[in-house]
Amino acid sequence: MDPVRTVDNQVARAGRLKQGGRAIPEETAVAFTYNGTSYAVMMATPCDLEDFAVGFSVTEGIVAAPSDIEALEVIEQDIGIELRMRLSEPLASAFHERRRYLAGPTGCGLCGIESLEEAMRTPAHIADHVAFSPQDVMRALQSLEGLQTINAQTRAVHGATFYSPALGLVAMREDVGRHNALDKLVGALVRRKARGADGFALVTSRLSVEMIQKAAAIGIPVLAAVSAPTALAVRTAGAAGMTLIAVARHDGFEIFTHPHRIKEERALHVVAG
Protein backbone atom coordinates (compact mmCIF):
# COMPACT_ATOMS: atom_id res chain seq x y z
CA MET A 1 0.00 0.00 0.00
CA ASP A 2 1.45 3.34 -1.09
CA PRO A 3 1.94 5.72 1.89
CA VAL A 4 1.26 8.74 -0.35
CA ARG A 5 -1.60 9.26 -2.80
CA THR A 6 -2.32 12.09 -5.21
CA VAL A 7 -5.95 13.18 -5.37
CA ASP A 8 -7.84 15.66 -7.53
CA ASN A 9 -9.30 18.74 -5.87
CA GLN A 10 -10.64 22.19 -6.54
CA VAL A 11 -8.37 25.12 -5.73
CA ALA A 12 -9.73 28.57 -4.87
CA ARG A 13 -7.36 31.46 -5.61
CA ALA A 14 -8.21 35.14 -6.00
CA GLY A 15 -11.93 34.37 -5.94
CA ARG A 16 -11.74 31.83 -8.76
CA LEU A 17 -11.89 28.01 -8.80
CA LYS A 18 -9.64 25.78 -10.84
CA GLN A 19 -8.88 22.09 -11.06
CA GLY A 20 -5.92 20.96 -8.99
CA GLY A 21 -4.30 18.03 -7.29
CA ARG A 22 -2.47 17.33 -4.05
CA ALA A 23 -0.31 14.59 -2.54
CA ILE A 24 -1.78 13.42 0.75
CA PRO A 25 -0.73 10.70 3.21
CA GLU A 26 -2.50 7.37 3.25
CA GLU A 27 -4.12 6.28 6.51
CA THR A 28 -5.23 2.74 7.18
CA ALA A 29 -6.27 0.50 10.05
CA VAL A 30 -3.35 -1.53 11.40
CA ALA A 31 -4.21 -4.42 13.73
CA PHE A 32 -1.71 -5.90 16.18
CA THR A 33 -2.33 -9.57 16.96
CA TYR A 34 -0.28 -11.85 19.18
CA ASN A 35 -0.61 -15.62 19.07
CA GLY A 36 -3.96 -15.28 17.33
CA THR A 37 -5.37 -12.73 19.78
CA SER A 38 -6.18 -9.12 18.88
CA TYR A 39 -4.59 -6.43 21.04
CA ALA A 40 -5.03 -3.05 19.35
CA VAL A 41 -6.09 -1.42 16.10
CA MET A 42 -4.29 1.79 15.19
CA MET A 43 -4.81 4.21 12.34
CA ALA A 44 -1.40 4.65 10.75
CA THR A 45 0.65 5.34 7.63
CA PRO A 46 1.31 2.02 5.84
CA CYS A 47 5.12 2.07 5.77
CA ASP A 48 7.91 0.63 7.94
CA LEU A 49 5.37 -1.79 9.37
CA GLU A 50 7.88 -4.33 10.71
CA ASP A 51 9.48 -1.52 12.70
CA PHE A 52 6.02 -0.47 13.88
CA ALA A 53 5.20 -4.00 15.03
CA VAL A 54 8.42 -4.42 16.99
CA GLY A 55 8.54 -0.89 18.38
CA PHE A 56 4.93 -0.93 19.54
CA SER A 57 5.48 -4.31 21.18
CA VAL A 58 8.52 -2.97 23.06
CA THR A 59 6.98 0.33 24.19
CA GLU A 60 3.81 -1.47 25.29
CA GLY A 61 5.90 -3.80 27.42
CA ILE A 62 4.69 -6.89 25.58
CA VAL A 63 8.25 -7.87 24.66
CA ALA A 64 11.68 -6.78 25.86
CA ALA A 65 13.55 -7.43 22.61
CA PRO A 66 12.84 -8.40 18.98
CA SER A 67 14.01 -11.94 19.74
CA ASP A 68 10.90 -12.38 21.92
CA ILE A 69 8.85 -12.35 18.70
CA GLU A 70 9.22 -15.77 17.09
CA ALA A 71 7.40 -14.82 13.88
CA LEU A 72 6.09 -11.64 12.30
CA GLU A 73 3.86 -11.39 9.24
CA VAL A 74 2.43 -8.30 7.56
CA ILE A 75 -0.95 -9.32 6.13
CA GLU A 76 -2.62 -6.83 3.79
CA GLN A 77 -6.39 -7.07 3.60
CA ASP A 78 -9.06 -5.06 1.81
CA ILE A 79 -10.01 -3.19 4.99
CA GLY A 80 -6.56 -2.76 6.52
CA ILE A 81 -3.33 -4.44 7.56
CA GLU A 82 -2.72 -7.07 10.22
CA LEU A 83 0.64 -7.28 11.98
CA ARG A 84 0.51 -10.92 13.01
CA MET A 85 3.06 -11.91 15.65
CA ARG A 86 3.82 -15.08 17.56
CA LEU A 87 5.40 -14.63 20.99
CA SER A 88 7.75 -17.05 22.67
CA GLU A 89 7.00 -18.50 26.09
CA PRO A 90 6.56 -17.41 28.81
CA LEU A 91 5.59 -14.10 27.16
CA ALA A 92 2.73 -15.70 25.25
CA SER A 93 1.06 -16.80 28.48
CA ALA A 94 1.72 -13.44 30.13
CA PHE A 95 0.16 -11.66 27.16
CA HIS A 96 -3.07 -13.62 27.41
CA GLU A 97 -3.33 -12.55 31.04
CA ARG A 98 -3.39 -8.87 30.05
CA ARG A 99 -5.35 -9.29 26.80
CA ARG A 100 -7.38 -6.27 25.81
CA TYR A 101 -8.94 -5.31 22.49
CA LEU A 102 -8.89 -1.60 21.75
CA ALA A 103 -9.57 0.48 18.66
CA GLY A 104 -7.41 3.58 18.70
CA PRO A 105 -7.63 6.86 16.78
CA THR A 106 -4.65 8.11 14.81
CA GLY A 107 -1.61 7.75 17.03
CA CYS A 108 -3.48 6.65 20.15
CA GLY A 109 -0.77 6.61 22.76
CA LEU A 110 -2.19 4.51 25.61
CA CYS A 111 -3.14 1.04 24.45
CA GLY A 112 -3.98 -2.00 26.52
CA ILE A 113 -4.27 0.13 29.66
CA GLU A 114 -6.67 -1.19 32.27
CA SER A 115 -6.06 1.06 35.28
CA LEU A 116 -5.22 4.65 36.19
CA GLU A 117 -2.07 3.41 37.93
CA GLU A 118 -0.78 1.81 34.73
CA ALA A 119 -1.58 4.88 32.63
CA MET A 120 0.22 7.18 35.07
CA ARG A 121 3.26 4.98 35.64
CA THR A 122 6.68 6.61 35.91
CA PRO A 123 9.27 4.86 33.71
CA ALA A 124 12.39 3.30 35.17
CA HIS A 125 15.08 5.88 35.94
CA ILE A 126 17.20 6.86 32.94
CA ALA A 127 20.96 6.16 33.07
CA ASP A 128 23.16 9.22 33.38
CA HIS A 129 26.33 8.73 31.34
CA VAL A 130 26.04 10.96 28.26
CA ALA A 131 26.01 14.66 27.47
CA PHE A 132 25.30 16.59 24.27
CA SER A 133 25.92 20.09 22.97
CA PRO A 134 23.31 22.57 21.73
CA GLN A 135 24.87 22.11 18.29
CA ASP A 136 24.04 18.37 18.42
CA VAL A 137 20.36 19.20 18.90
CA MET A 138 20.39 21.70 16.05
CA ARG A 139 22.14 19.23 13.72
CA ALA A 140 19.51 16.62 14.50
CA LEU A 141 16.76 19.14 13.75
CA GLN A 142 18.32 20.04 10.41
CA SER A 143 18.85 16.38 9.49
CA LEU A 144 15.25 15.48 10.31
CA GLU A 145 13.83 18.25 8.15
CA GLY A 146 15.92 17.16 5.19
CA LEU A 147 14.96 13.48 5.36
CA GLN A 148 11.20 13.64 5.88
CA THR A 149 10.33 12.49 2.39
CA ILE A 150 6.63 11.81 3.05
CA ASN A 151 6.16 15.12 4.84
CA ALA A 152 7.97 16.93 2.02
CA GLN A 153 5.27 15.65 -0.34
CA THR A 154 2.24 16.03 1.93
CA ARG A 155 3.03 18.42 4.81
CA ALA A 156 0.78 16.21 6.93
CA VAL A 157 2.86 13.64 8.84
CA HIS A 158 5.03 13.55 11.95
CA GLY A 159 8.66 12.50 12.08
CA ALA A 160 10.85 10.93 14.76
CA THR A 161 14.61 10.61 14.56
CA PHE A 162 17.47 9.28 16.66
CA TYR A 163 20.76 11.15 16.64
CA SER A 164 24.19 10.15 17.91
CA PRO A 165 27.09 12.62 17.86
CA ALA A 166 29.41 9.80 16.84
CA LEU A 167 27.20 8.44 14.04
CA GLY A 168 24.95 11.36 13.11
CA LEU A 169 21.36 10.53 12.25
CA VAL A 170 20.92 6.83 13.00
CA ALA A 171 17.27 6.35 11.96
CA MET A 172 14.20 8.38 11.00
CA ARG A 173 10.59 7.29 10.68
CA GLU A 174 7.34 9.05 9.67
CA ASP A 175 3.64 8.52 10.32
CA VAL A 176 0.35 10.42 10.49
CA GLY A 177 0.36 9.62 14.21
CA ARG A 178 3.07 11.08 16.44
CA HIS A 179 3.06 8.03 18.74
CA ASN A 180 3.25 5.77 15.70
CA ALA A 181 6.31 7.61 14.36
CA LEU A 182 8.08 7.16 17.70
CA ASP A 183 7.08 3.48 17.90
CA LYS A 184 8.48 2.94 14.39
CA LEU A 185 11.71 4.65 15.42
CA VAL A 186 12.02 2.47 18.52
CA GLY A 187 11.45 -0.60 16.35
CA ALA A 188 14.12 0.48 13.88
CA LEU A 189 16.62 0.99 16.70
CA VAL A 190 16.06 -2.25 18.58
CA ARG A 191 16.00 -4.30 15.36
CA ARG A 192 19.51 -3.04 14.53
CA LYS A 193 20.62 -3.40 18.17
CA ALA A 194 21.25 0.32 18.61
CA ARG A 195 21.40 1.48 22.23
CA GLY A 196 18.90 4.15 23.19
CA ALA A 197 21.30 5.38 25.87
CA ASP A 198 23.90 6.41 23.29
CA GLY A 199 21.95 9.24 21.65
CA PHE A 200 18.77 11.26 21.79
CA ALA A 201 15.43 11.37 20.00
CA LEU A 202 13.78 14.31 18.28
CA VAL A 203 10.11 14.42 17.27
CA THR A 204 8.08 16.92 15.25
CA SER A 205 5.12 16.93 17.61
CA ARG A 206 4.11 18.10 21.05
CA LEU A 207 5.31 16.05 24.01
CA SER A 208 2.67 14.26 26.05
CA VAL A 209 3.28 11.71 28.77
CA GLU A 210 2.99 8.71 26.42
CA MET A 211 5.92 10.00 24.38
CA ILE A 212 8.06 10.09 27.53
CA GLN A 213 7.05 6.54 28.43
CA LYS A 214 7.80 5.24 24.93
CA ALA A 215 11.25 6.85 24.74
CA ALA A 216 12.11 5.66 28.24
CA ALA A 217 11.24 2.07 27.28
CA ILE A 218 14.66 1.80 25.59
CA GLY A 219 16.50 4.18 27.90
CA ILE A 220 16.66 7.27 25.66
CA PRO A 221 18.15 9.96 27.96
CA VAL A 222 17.08 13.07 26.01
CA LEU A 223 13.81 13.62 24.15
CA ALA A 224 13.44 16.79 22.09
CA ALA A 225 10.44 18.16 20.22
CA VAL A 226 9.61 21.06 17.95
CA SER A 227 6.46 21.82 19.94
CA ALA A 228 5.73 22.32 23.63
CA PRO A 229 5.31 19.65 26.34
CA THR A 230 2.35 19.04 28.59
CA ALA A 231 2.76 19.64 32.32
CA LEU A 232 2.39 15.92 33.01
CA ALA A 233 5.12 15.14 30.47
CA VAL A 234 7.46 17.52 32.29
CA ARG A 235 6.70 15.94 35.67
CA THR A 236 7.12 12.40 34.31
CA ALA A 237 10.40 13.20 32.55
CA GLY A 238 11.66 14.86 35.72
CA ALA A 239 10.81 11.85 37.86
CA ALA A 240 12.38 9.46 35.33
CA GLY A 241 15.62 11.43 35.05
CA MET A 242 15.05 12.23 31.37
CA THR A 243 16.17 15.51 29.83
CA LEU A 244 13.19 17.10 28.11
CA ILE A 245 13.79 19.63 25.33
CA ALA A 246 10.95 21.38 23.54
CA VAL A 247 10.17 24.30 21.21
CA ALA A 248 13.23 23.30 19.14
CA ARG A 249 13.41 25.76 16.28
CA HIS A 250 16.09 27.16 14.00
CA ASP A 251 17.05 29.78 16.60
CA GLY A 252 17.32 27.44 19.59
CA PHE A 253 15.30 25.43 22.09
CA GLU A 254 14.13 25.25 25.70
CA ILE A 255 15.20 22.69 28.33
CA PHE A 256 12.53 21.71 30.86
CA THR A 257 14.13 18.93 32.92
CA HIS A 258 17.64 17.71 33.83
CA PRO A 259 19.61 20.33 31.87
CA HIS A 260 22.97 18.88 32.98
CA ARG A 261 23.07 16.67 29.87
CA ILE A 262 23.29 19.70 27.57
CA LYS A 263 26.80 21.20 27.68
CA GLU A 264 27.78 24.46 26.00
CA GLU A 265 31.23 23.10 25.21
CA ARG A 266 31.47 19.59 23.91
CA ALA A 267 34.67 17.96 25.14
CA LEU A 268 33.55 14.42 25.91
CA HIS A 269 30.16 12.77 25.39
CA VAL A 270 30.85 10.28 28.15
CA VAL A 271 30.41 11.76 31.60
CA ALA A 272 32.40 10.11 34.35
CA GLY A 273 30.04 8.28 36.67
pLDDT per residue as tens digits for the range 38-66: 899 999 999 999 999 999 999 999 999 99
For all residues of the chain together, what is the average pLDDT?
A: 90
Pair 255, 146 in one domain: yes
Give the CATH number, domain containing residue 95: 3.10.20.10
Cα Rg, the chain, nearest whole Å = 19
Domain coverage including residue 96 = 28-119
CA 55/CA 263 separation, integer angstroms: 30
Active site residue 108: yes
**Mean pLDDT confidence for 66-94:** 95
Pair 139, 169 in one domain: yes
Kindly state the DSSP code that residue 124 receives in the 8-state scheme. P
CA 67/CA 71 separation, integer angstroms: 9
* Annotated catalytic residue within 63, 69, 108, 217: 108
Pair 51, 80 in one domain: yes
Pair 141, 114 in one domain: no
Question: pTM here?
Answer: 0.90
Q: What is the number of structural domains in the chain?
A: 2
Among the candidates 88, 119, 150, a domain finishes at 119
Task: List the Cα angle 108/112/116 in 5-degree steps.
Answer: 90
